[in-house]
Amino acid sequence: MSSLAQQVNPSRYRATMLLRILALAVTGAVALTVSLVVTQDTASAHGSTINPASRNYGCWKRWGSDFQNPNMASQDPMCWQAWQADPNAMWNWNGLYRDGVAGNHQAAVPNGQLCSAGQTGGVRYAALDNPGNWQSTKVSANFGVKLHDQALHGADYFRIYLTRQGFNPLTQRLNWSNLELLKETGRYAPGAGTRETGDPVLNGVSNTINVSSSGRSGRHIVYTIWKASHSDQTYYWCADVNF
Ligand SMILES: [Cu+2]
């Protein structure tokens, strides 16, 4: 009798296997859903300078829906080389940050790598450091820098720098010594600012920081540091301008 009881009932065996396969499928689906949620969360939080646009946001905004268009090579060659180098830099236009900098920006971000936040995340953003004819925004001596904070992090401070006259973004990689600090702000409470309505990806708040410069002509880089308030997370962006 005992040997009979131990015999496997074929139909029950099939049912058990089906349940196991189903359980595996459900586990897989849950894992996939979790990874999709994590990816979407990564892509929908953080922020950037949007006007003048950072190199990463500008390339995403102009070409994100048309990034395989070969005309980009002649119309917007620096975005083209950046898309070719790593499209993730533009899909993650809002994630150009470093964690754990503790305010030591110059130690964390080496000369020549300012536009990639010191090649944060490996070489993803490295093409943003390349000098060349990035599309630029026309500005006058007094201008505003508009920042978008998607995730309502708030700010401990923003720092806005401008390259000194004589620096040439078309031929030179950016060094700290090329920059003049125009303004350091105070704190921004999480959620402070104006809700964006035009662009659905800009689903957080924007703040404009007004700055004054003098003695500039031609092409320059506005360099912005955003020390977010929710953790030790600091963002670094290059935005090309033309006086
Ligand atoms: Cu964030």
* Cα torsion 170, 173, 174, 178: sign: negative
Report the 10 Å Cβ neighbour count for 32: 10
Q: How close is the Cα of 74 to the center of ligand 1, in Å?
A: 33
What CATH number belongs to 48-242? 2.70.50.50
Question: How far does residue 181's CA lie from ligand 1's centre (Å)?
Answer: 24
pLDDT at 15: 56
Return the closest-CA partner of residue 55 out of 110, 109, 161, 136.
136
Distance 12 CA to ligand 1 centre (A): 51
pLDDT of residue 45: 79
Q: Ligand 1 centre and the CA of 105: distance in Å? A: 18
Q: What is the pLDDT of residue 37?
A: 40
Count H helices and E strands in the chain, helices first: 7, 10
**Where would I find the beta strands (DSSP E) of the chain?**
47-51, 97-99, 137-138, 142-149, 155-163, 179-184, 194-195, 205-212, 219-228, 233-242
Question: What's the 210 CA to ligand 1 centre distance in angstroms?
Answer: 23
Domain ranges of the chain: 2-35, 48-242
- Closest by Cα among 242, 227, 213, 230 to 147: 227
Residue 77 near residue 70 (C-beta atoms within 8 A): no
| Chain centroid offset of residue 231 CA | 17
Q: How far apart are CA 118 and CA 120, in angstroms?
A: 5
CB within 8 Å of 210: residues ≥ 6 apart: 142, 143, 144, 145
Of 18-32, 90-104, 209-223, the one with minimum mean pLDDT is: 18-32
Contact in structure between 67 and 87 (CB atoms under 8 Å) = yes
Q: How far is the CA of 2 from the centre of ligand 1 (A)?
A: 63
Task: Write the DSSP symbol of residue 201.
Answer: T
Q: Is the peptide bond before 70 cis (omega within 30 degrees of 0)?
A: no
Ligand 1 centre distance from Cα of residue 206 (Å): 14
**Ligand 1 center from residue 23 Cα (angstroms):** 35
Q: What is the pLDDT of residues 63-94, one digit of tens each?
A: 999 999 999 999 999 999 999 999 999 999 99
For ligand 1, the distance from its centroid to the CA atom of residue 231, given in whole angstroms, is 9
How many Å lie between the centroid of ligand 1 and the Cα of residue 209? 20
CA–CA gap between residue 240 and residue 243 (Å, rounded): 10
Phi, psi of 189 (to 5 degrees): -65, 150
Q: What is the pLDDT of residues 128-181, one digit of tens each?
A: 999 999 999 999 999 999 999 999 999 999 999 999 999 999 999 999 999 999
| Res. 38 pLDDT band, cuts 50 70 90 | very low
Query: How many Å lie between the centroid of ligand 1 and the Cα of residue 241?
Result: 26
Beta bridge partners, 47, equal 149
Q: What is the mean pLDDT of residues 20-49?
A: 54
CA dihedral 124, 126, 131, 132 (to 10 degrees): -20
